């Protein structure tokens, strides 16, 4: 073994690009970073091969974009840092989830096979593919009817984004693809398979996205049979019951993967993880009390607790799902940075950061409540706590003198009101929050959003020092997979203490803003409850839209 | 008398500019047209003299801008057409209303006098000056309490835009200006005074804006005394009970006015009129059945009937107010073109017509209901039928895939839903509508809006041939004031038949769109009723805003 600095590589697969970092295992220092956009990006209008239009709410990707980005970014961090691959003691990856694809028994994506390539269901379904709502409805209804014991763990409602909704949509709409798929697999696990040559499955996506638990495993066959006769054996035929935990070693770099990445064959590969979840220890949080907000296009909230509670509208509670020995509670907001970018693009035809910056500047000069605006932040549905992809956005209070910066601020505030609903829901279930630790790209781009988060929730807000917490977290889990003997760490708690830090800024709540924000939050909350009711104008409007779109195909 | 073509001049004083037309009295042909923007435009941020910030909801103008525009445009149409002033047999003017100002006994505007110039209340209060809401509330409350008989004529609610609310605001907030004002006068009548050297008052603004009626005159003194002791004699001290009807001659061009305009001294000057009302005969409508929609920054709706009914939320019913022998019913929508311009400006930083054009093009390619959006068009409050300047806009249904053209279409549709509420309210009072005749600038700029008007109301829509119906209407009333002996006409009906025409386009309702628009209208109607209720989120939000603005002065 070399006497040089020991490092690990973490690769974070995001919505638009992949990013690799090379991290000093002892100090957490980032030695190099590289990012690569996916050539085909998010495929949500037309399929690249045929040019065929996709229906509304579809979002696909090309898995070969992942491999291309993986190879390019890992090679780049090695080269840029001048690192000898012998000093790289492990690699870990994390991914958006549930992002899944159908593959053959050797791991070949069906969409790479010419016969299946023109069929949209052969491609990767990205996390924000939302057209499996009928399947999610069926899953929820069936689970409710059958009194499935696992339903409580998921706030009594599962999402159209999750693994079985997406899988069942393939069976419903493209049975030939379902039949041709030897495996249905999370992209996270598929990447680890490409690195090691061996299929493995991680407990984080299994727990949060595929109804699995450490104690009870997957739902029973009779449940899947009740969804569709052909779906009875989905777990045994298309998946695996062998689930590994984050921090374990999934295998080692294969010869083929070494050629792709420049790493040495035999380098340990950590079990895959989810981008948000891997961020928690990278944001220094390994104990109950803090709410971690992973803020980007959407926001994922993660809380740790030593108690097992049912929290209505949460995405899930998974034992050991984030940190071993604790229950990990996940909630989410589906439109955060995405919604700000939508608005920035609306007003400037451009969503560059300087356009954001000028809106943020205008917004930051306003007094709380002075714009007379309030919004419901449901531009991409609502995940927590309503769990309904069909809810839509609302802006109330515009006048002829309303300025873009005022709307921008109202959208920022709306996302924090949504966060406050999540915190209050946790609180009602007995899980308190004493601070917020933010990470992801947004906290670095939008200081106003951080201050609003403190002012509206009444909690102090800290920001993780790393701008790349998912990739850092993956590198940390790679260090744990490598273990102390190879120069890594024995546990994620130990890795977090050595490798993770908070930034210096602390956002404290402005008490003078509180009464106004309490009033605005009460209005938000009433709109939240009335517009999500069964017969609301929002629901009826959606029905009109569905009928209109059926009548006139796009 | 010359054997040349006999002509009249009509001058329309709009919100941003004045426009003069020179019209052939026999055929209605427009021989020349000229427009001039007011140098100071709408003064709604800072007073030009002192730079002092104006409070929210203020909108002032400089009366000398009117004179400058009057002289420039009348001279231009004479010169451009090569007309000998001897052949101009009359001039008529129309104005936005209620647009009013305080003047001395010789007609000098107080804001022209150095002593008063720094005082905002000395300036012209433009129609859209909305800060006299407390005074309007007091007027409504007092009238209700006293059971004032005239209240029914105004849909039981008077507006902050009207004459006595604005006058009372002067008394309340600047008693020294109220005291110094020998006269409080509509800008329309003030212009006629400048043309003739003689003060006169017209029945149209008196009837629709100052609670006057042909049968009962003004409200009694006890009513004004109940508003404020110093207001008891407002009519006798600051106004006049001598009211003239449109079509009458107010006087003739004075020597001074001849020097300003280039017209011959002694040329007949018609009694002043209101821009919207004068448009009705210019849009060919002189009998019951058609609803005239004067569409611009805001929309004014006028209907004629031979019956006298109470129509809730209408701006007023005035006998002979539009066409002699008929009752004229007025309703209004406060944000139409203004709201489209607001949105166009929001998305393009520019409200030029080509930016409108590209949004209209995008919007026109959409199927009804397909955007999933609905809006409440209250960006400038609601005039009919809710009569509340404090209501605000709402946009429901936005998602990350919402395009600017979809929002633009939703705003267009919202204004037509508002029009449909007005038509249905008239209908409930026994006044039917069998077609819509549109005029003003908007129908020529926005064909989609015309088609949506037909589709959503289920009525055929025609557009007046003239793009300048107010100025044409003023020229028509000038021809009536001149009379047949001077080469004019004996009545406005006769003038309308000779001088007004409809355009060739006819917009017929698309029956296939009706079910979708009925559904969307039902949603609009429910939002309309719930958001205007006393405890709605919209109301509470407005209260938060008022408190926030009081706490942090602008």
Q: Mind listing the pLDDT tens digit for each residue in B472-494?
A: 999 999 999 999 999 999 999 99
What pLDDT digit, counting tens, does each position of B249-302 carry? 999 999 999 999 999 999 999 999 999 999 999 999 999 999 999 998 899 999
Residue appearing with tokens 């959407």: A298
For residue A528, give the chain B residue with the closest CA.
Answer: B537
- Per CB-CB distance under 8 Å, the chain A contacts of B335 are 400
CA–CA distance, B139 with B151 (Å, rounded to integer): 10
CA–CA distance, A173 with A133 (Å, rounded to integer): 13
CB contact under 8 A, A392 and B370: no
Q: What's the pLDDT score for residue B552?
A: 63
- Per CB-CB distance under 8 Å, the chain B contacts of A551 are 367
Q: What percent of chain B has pLDDT over 70?
A: 98
Q: What percent of chain B has pLDDT over 90?
A: 89
For residue A546, give the chain B residue with the closest CA.
Answer: B370
For residue B406, give the chain A residue with the closest CA.
Answer: A346
Element holding A408 (H helix, E strand): helix A404-428
CA–CA distance, B171 with B164 (Å, rounded to integer): 10
What pLDDT digit, counting tens, does each position of B123-156 carry? 999 998 999 999 999 999 999 999 999 998 988 8
CB contact under 8 A, A523 and B541: yes
For residue B58, give the chain A residue with the closest CA.
Answer: A401
The residue ranges of chain A whose pLDDT is under 50 are 1-2, 554
CB contact under 8 A, B398 and A392: yes
Residue appearing with tokens 């709706």: B301
Would you give the distance in Å from CA B443 to the centre of its chain?
A: 16
Helices (H), B324-385: 337-348, 353-364
CB contact under 8 A, A544 and B369: yes
CA–CA distance, A66 with A189 (Å, rounded to integer): 12
- Per CB-CB distance under 8 Å, the chain A contacts of B548 are 367-370, 516
CA–CA distance, A62 with B65 (Å, rounded to integer): 64
CA–CA distance, B465 with B399 (Å, rounded to integer): 40
What pLDDT digit, counting tens, does each position of B393-446 carry? 999 999 999 999 999 999 999 999 999 999 999 999 999 999 999 999 899 999
For residue A336, give the chain B residue with the closest CA.
Answer: B400
Task: Answer yes or no: are the C-beta atoms of B479 and B499 closer than 8 Å.
Answer: yes
Q: What's the pLDDT score for residue A553?
A: 53
Q: What's the pLDDT score for residue A1?
A: 40
Mutate to test the interface with A, among B343, B400, B527, B529 (most CBs of A within 10 A): B400
Q: Name the DSSP class of B43.
A: B
What pLDDT digit, counting tens, does each position of A336-348 carry? 999 999 999 999 8
CB contact under 8 A, A400 and B527: no
Task: Answer yes or no: are the C-beta atoms of B279 and B259 closer than 8 Å.
Answer: no
CA–CA distance, A100 with A163 (Å, rounded to integer): 7
Q: Measured at the alpha carbon of residue A180, what is the angle toward residues A175 and A183, in degrees to the nearest 5?
A: 105
At B554, the pLDDT band (50, 70, 90 cuts) reads very low
Of B394, B398, B520, the CB nearest to A379: B398
* Shortest Cα–Cα distance, B347 to chain A (Å): 4
CB contact under 8 A, B396 and A400: no
Kindly give the pairing relationship between strand B461-464 and strand B435-439. Answer: parallel
Q: What's the pLDDT score for residue A2?
A: 45
Q: What's the pLDDT score for residue B3?
A: 52
Task: Answer yes or no: are the C-beta atoms of A498 and A547 closer than 8 Å.
Answer: no
Q: Name the DSSP class of B231.
A: G
CA–CA distance, B378 with B390 (Å, rounded to integer): 9
Kindly give the pairing relationship between strand B7-13 and strand B88-95. Answer: parallel
- Per CB-CB distance under 8 Å, the chain B contacts of A346 are 346-347, 404
Taking the alpha carbons at both ends of chain A, their separation in whole angstroms is 61
Task: Answer yes or no: are the C-beta atoms of A280 and A87 closer than 8 Å.
Answer: no
Q: Which residues contact B480 (CB under 8 A, 6 or more apart)?
A: B247, B270, B488, B489, B490, B491, B492, B495
What pLDDT digit, counting tens, does each position of B178-228 carry? 999 999 999 999 999 999 999 999 999 999 999 999 999 999 999 999 999
CA–CA distance, A538 with B523 (Å, rounded to integer): 9
Tokens (6 digits) for A208: 């949060």
| CA-closest candidate to residue B438, choices B290, B245, B255, B242 | B290
* CA separation, residue B544 to residues A371, A522, B524 (Å): 9, 11, 25
Tokens (6 digits) for B470: 């107010």
Task: Answer yes or no: are the C-beta atoms of B370 and B403 closer than 8 Å.
Answer: no
Mutate to test the interface with B, among A374, A378, A548 (most CBs of B within 10 A): A548
CA–CA distance, B252 with B243 (Å, rounded to integer): 17
- Per CB-CB distance under 8 Å, the chain B contacts of A411 are none
At B553, the pLDDT band (50, 70, 90 cuts) reads low
Element holding A374 (H helix, E strand): strand A374-376
Q: What's the pLDDT score for residue A554?
A: 46
Tokens (6 digits) for B289: 């059945």
Q: What's the pLDDT score for residue B353?
A: 61
- Per CB-CB distance under 8 Å, the chain A contacts of B346 are 346-347, 404, 407
Q: What's the pLDDT score for residue B351?
A: 59
For residue A396, give the chain B residue with the closest CA.
Answer: B394
CB contact under 8 A, A544 and B380: no
Would you give the distance in Å from CA A543 to the centre of its chain?
A: 29
Candidate from B2-6, B269-273, B503-507 with smallest mean pLDDT: B2-6
What pTM did the predictor assign? 0.87
């Amino acid at each position: 073994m070399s006497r040089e600095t020991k490092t690990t590589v973490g690769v974070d697969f995001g919505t638009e690009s992949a990013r690799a970092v090379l991290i000093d295992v002892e100090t957490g220092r980032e030695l190099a970073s590289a990012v690569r956009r996916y050539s085909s990006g998010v495929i949500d209008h037309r399929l690249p091969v045929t040019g065929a239009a996709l229906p509304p709410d579809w979002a696909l990707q090309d898995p070969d974009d992942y491999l291309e980005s993986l190879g390019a970014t890992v090679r780049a961090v090695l080269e840029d840092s001048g690192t000898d691959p012998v000093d790289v003691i492990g690699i870990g990856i994390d991914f958006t989830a549930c992002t899944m694809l159908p593959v053959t028994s050797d791991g070949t994506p069906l969409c790479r096979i010419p016969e299946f390539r023109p069929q949209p269901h052969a491609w990767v379904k990205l996390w924000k593919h939302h057209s499996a709502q009928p399947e999610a409805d069926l899953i929820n209804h069936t689970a409710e009817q059958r009194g499935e014991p696992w339903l409580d763990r998921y706030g009594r409602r599962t999402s159209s984004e999750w693994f079985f909704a997406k899988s069942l949509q393939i069976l419903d709409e493209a049975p030939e693809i379902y039949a041709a798929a030897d495996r249905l697999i999370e992209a996270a696990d598929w990447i680890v398979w490409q690195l090691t040559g061996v299929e493995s499955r991680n407990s984080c996506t299994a727990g949060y996205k595929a109804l699995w638990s450490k104690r009870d495993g997957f739902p029973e066959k009779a449940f899947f049979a009740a969804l569709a006769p052909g779906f009875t054996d989905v777990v045994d035929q298309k998946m695996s019951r062998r689930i590994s935990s984050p921090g374990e070693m999934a295998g080692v770099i294969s010869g083929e993967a070494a050629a792709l990445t420049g790493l040495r064959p035999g380098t340990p590969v950590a079990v895959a993880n989810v981008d948000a979840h891997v961020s928690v220890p990278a944001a220094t949080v390994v104990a109950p009390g803090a709410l971690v907000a992973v803020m980007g296009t959407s926001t994922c909230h993660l809380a740790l607790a030593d108690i097992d509670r049912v929290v209505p509208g949460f995405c899930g509670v998974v034992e050991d799902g984030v940190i071993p020995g604790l229950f990990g509670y996940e909630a989410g907001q589906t439109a955060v940075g995405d919604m700000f970018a939508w608005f920035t693009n609306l007003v400037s035809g451009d969503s560059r950061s300087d356009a954001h910056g000028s809106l943020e500047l205008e917004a930051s000069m306003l007094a709380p409540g002075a714009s007379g605006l309030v919004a419901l932040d449901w531009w991409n549905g609502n995940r927590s706590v309503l769990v309904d992809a069909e809810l839509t956005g609302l802006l109330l209070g515009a006048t002829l003198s309303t300025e873009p910066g005022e709307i921008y601020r109202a959208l920022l505030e709306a996302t924090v009101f949504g966060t406050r609903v999540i915190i209050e829901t946790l609180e009602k279930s007995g899980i308190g929050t004493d601070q917020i630790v933010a990470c992801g790209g947004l906290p670095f781009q939008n200081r106003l959003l951080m201050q609003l988060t403190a002012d509206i929730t009444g909690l102090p807000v800290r920001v993780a020092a790393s701008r790349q917490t998912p990739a850092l977290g993956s590198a940390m889990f790679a260090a744990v997979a490598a273990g102390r003997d190879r120069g890594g760490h024995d546990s994620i708690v130990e890795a977090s203490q050595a490798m993770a830090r908070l930034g210096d800024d602390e956002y404290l709540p402005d008490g003078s803003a509180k009464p106004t924000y309490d009033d605005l939050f009460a209005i938000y909350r009433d709109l939240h409850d009335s517009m999500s009711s069964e017969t609301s104008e929002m629901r009826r409007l959606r029905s009109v839209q569905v009928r209109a779109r059926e009548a006139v195909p796009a």
